């Protein structure tokens, strides 16, 4: 048994600030009140406890109230990524078999056509709240969120995250960082990402404040870092670089009250780490994924330079092993065992087990050194990491292969100063082909960040003896 997070937190610390957004603030008592009102309004729309609903909204207090209302009703929330194309959103809604979609009014036109009920936030607000009581206890195996992550087959997988998964993340994080007076998190990452949602859960369980941003704003963030009105933040390398550039431009350092900046989405360049130290920022590199419900390995800030390139050591309640490795520094597949690991998937992959004998096989290659620090060698083999977003080449190749003028195609990541990596497509055409037209073809079927930034026409693609595409050799064609 685990207590209802919202009821328990409101009872324990009702007057403590839960949320700040664009000059306004709300307490945990108000969060409870708002969540119960919205939940009763959802019932008026025939959304029943335990149903599966999709949420399509930007990072404002409105999505916080909606997610909290769904928690009160024990609904399974499919959090839809705003960066996806209509076709991708439609796939996820169908695959998850959602019963309704809750959408921010301004985003309604971006939704694909669907047969399920679609309720705008304003429609929900106009409903007369119905009588309802809310469970004081939640089951550990109850699914809270479902988030889609691209698979190596090109078909995204709907990953389930349970009450136990989220509690374990919040607890292991707490054991790693501890709590301080006036603790708080700056959240500029989308709440539909595991990093954003887990930050909300951590604040709720720890009883600390979430400073929510509609989108990343380096000037406003740096104001907070300098004045010392926040304690922690989670970023990816590209946003860290923008923060550092802004601080350097101002010639200022962050307040000593700011304690932790978690950086995920791939290794942090050495130059960034040194610049961060000069700016007074304590960096903690992390490793995790949707299947582990957020970070599972973290590098302590004091080891940032000594263990350059390392993702750190497993957090409490997490075990790490390198499959196939017999000794330190031997490369193998990274495997994780933890209560953070998803119990499974929905839809197309519902029958697929998430673990083998309790271990999640991540598909990532890495090694552990003599002191037990993890080094990630390759992210899921051919994975492209662009601005912290994971992009699988197979997904893009599947789209391009459906183009009438393309005979063969291979996709890989190429270096980008701004994003770390961006996808590039290598095309063997059936006949003369217009790359701008192909780009538009992709834009209609893929999220913008997945659309290849470069298109190259080639005579043939590199393949091995069994004719398997060798994506690592694509860059050699340039």
Checking if the pLDDT of 467 tops 70, the result is no
Q: Which residues contact 237 (CB under 8 A, 6 or more apart)?
A: 263, 265, 266, 267, 268, 269, 272, 388, 420
pTM of the model: 0.85
Q: Which of 99-103, 340-344, 403-407 bottoms out in mean pLDDT, i.e. has the lowest?
A: 403-407
What residue ranges define each of the domains in the chain, with the CATH number in brackets? 2-138 (3.40.50.980), 168-378 (3.40.50.12780), 384-477 (3.30.300.30)
CA 301 to chain centre: 22
Q: What is the pLDDT of residue 267?
A: 62
* Predicted local distance difference test score (pLDDT) of residue 464: 60
Q: Are 208 and 185 in contact (CB under 8 A)?
A: yes
Give the residue-averaged pLDDT of 51-74: 98
The three state secondary structure string of the chain is: CEECHHHHHHHHCCCCEEEEECCEEEEHHHHHHHHHHHHHHHHHCCCCCCCEEEEECCCCHHHHHHHHHHHHCCCEEEECCCCCCHHHHHHHHHHHCCCEEEECHHHHHHCCCCCCEEEEHHHHHHCCCCCCCCCCEECCCCEEEEEEECCCCCCCEEEEEEHHHHHHHHHHHHHHHCCCCCCEEEECCCCCCHHHHHHHHHHHHHCCEEEECCCCCHHHHHHHHHHCCCCEEEEEHHHHHHHHHHHHHHCCCCCCCCCEEEEECCCCCHHHHHHHHHCCCCEEEEEEEHHHCEEEEECCHHHCCCCCCCCEEECCCEEEEEECCCCCCCCEEEEEEECCCCCCEEHHHCCCCCCECCEEEEEEEEEECCCCCEEEEECCCCCEEECCEEECHHHHHHHHHCCCCEEEEEEEEEEECCCEEEEEEEEEECCCCCHHHHHHHHHCCCCHHHCCCEEEECCCCCECCCCCECHHHHHHHC
The pLDDT of residue 458 is above 80: yes
Q: How many CA atoms lie within 13 A of 354 on its CB side?
A: 22
Residue 266 has pLDDT above 70, yes or no: no
Which residues lie closer than 8 Å to 107 by C-beta, 6 or more apart? 56, 57, 58, 82
Select from 237, 225, 301, 247 the least CA-distant residue to 271: 237
State residue 420 phi and psi, 5-degree precision.
90, -60
Residue 397 has pLDDT above 80, yes or no: yes
> What are 297-330's pLDDT values in tens digits?
999 878 877 888 789 999 999 999 999 899 999 9
Q: Residue range 35-46: average pLDDT? A: 98
* Tokens coding 444: 């209609």
Interval 276-301: pLDDT, tens: 999 999 989 899 999 999 999 999 87
Examine the pLDDT at 427 and tell me if it is beyond 80. Answer: yes
**What is residue 281's DSSP assignment?**
-
pLDDT at 228 over 90: yes
Strand duo 389-391 + 384-386: pairing: antiparallel
Q: With a cut of 60, say whether residue 210 has pLDDT above it.
A: yes
Q: What is the pLDDT of residue 465?
A: 45
Per-residue pLDDT, averaged over 190-209, amounts to: 96
pLDDT at 395: 82
Looking at residue 151, its pLDDT comes to: 55
**Residue 394, CB-side half-sphere exposure with 13 Å CA sphere:** 13
Separation of alpha carbons 37 and 127, rounded Å: 10
Q: How confident is the model at residue 193 (pLDDT cuts 50, 70, 90)?
A: very high
How confident is the model over 107-136, as a mean pLDDT? 97
Mean pLDDT score, 8-35: 98
The answer to whether 76 and 53 are in contact (CB under 8 A) is yes
């Amino acid at each position: 048994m685990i207590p209802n997070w919202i009821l328990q937190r409101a009872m324990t610390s009702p007057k403590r600030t839960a949320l700040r957004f664009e000059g306004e603030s709300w307490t945990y008592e108000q969060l409870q009140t708002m969540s119960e009102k919205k939940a009763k309004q959802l019932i008026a729309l025939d959304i029943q406890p335990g149903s599966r609903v999709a949420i399509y909204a930007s990072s404002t207090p409105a999505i916080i109230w909606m997610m909290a209302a769904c928690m009160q009703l024990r609904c399974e929330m499919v959090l839809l990524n705003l960066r996806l194309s209509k076709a991708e959103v439609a796939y996820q809604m169908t695959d998850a078999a959602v019963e309704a979609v809750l959408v921010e009014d301004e985003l309604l036109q971006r939704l694909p056509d669907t047969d399920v009920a679609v309720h705008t936030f304003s429609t929900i607000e106009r409903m007369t709240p119905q009588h309802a009581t809310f469970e004081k206890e939640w089951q550990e195996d109850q699914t809270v969120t479902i988030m889609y992550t691209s698979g190596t087959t090109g078909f995204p997988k709907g990953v389930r995250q349970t009450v136990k998964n989220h509690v374990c993340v919040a607890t292991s994080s707490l054991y790693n960082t501890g709590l301080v007076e006036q603790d708080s998190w700056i959240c500029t990452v989308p709440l539909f990402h595991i990093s954003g949602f887990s930050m909300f859960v951590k604040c709720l369980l720890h009883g600390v404040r979430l400073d929510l941003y509609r989108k990343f704003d380096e000037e406003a963030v740096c104001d907070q870092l300098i004045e010392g009105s926040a304690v922690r933040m989670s970023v990816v390398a590209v946003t860290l670089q923008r923060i550092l550039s802004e601080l350097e431009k101002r010639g200022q350092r962050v307040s000593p009250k700011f304690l932790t900046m978690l950086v995920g989405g791939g290794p942090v360049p050495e130059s960034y780490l040194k610049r961060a130290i000069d700016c007074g920022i304590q960096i903690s590199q992390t490793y995790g994924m949707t299947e582990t419900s957020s970070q599972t390995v973290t590098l302590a800030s004091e080891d940032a330079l000594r263990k350059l390139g390392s993702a750190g050591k497993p957090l409490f309640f997490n075990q790490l092993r390198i499959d196939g490795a017999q000794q330190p520094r031997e490369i193998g597949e990274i495997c994780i065992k933890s209560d953070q690991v998803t119990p499974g998937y929905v839809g197309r992959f519902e029958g697929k087990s998430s673990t083998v004998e309790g271990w999640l096989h991540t598909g990532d290659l890495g090694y552990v050194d003599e002191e037990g620090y993890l080094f990630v060698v390759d992210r899921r083999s051919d994975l492209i990491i662009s601005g912290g977003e994971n992009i699988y080449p197979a997904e893009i190749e599947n789209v391009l292969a459906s183009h009438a003028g393309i005979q063969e195609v291979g996709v890989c990541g190429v270096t980008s100063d701004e994003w770390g990596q961006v996808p590039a497509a290598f095309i063997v055409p059936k006949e003369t082909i217009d790359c701008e037209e192909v780009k538009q073809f992709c834009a209609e079927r893929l999220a913008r960040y997945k659309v290849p930034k470069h298109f190259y026409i080639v005579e043939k693609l590199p393949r091995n003896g069994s004719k398997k595409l060798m994506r690592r050799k694509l860059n050699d064609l340039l």
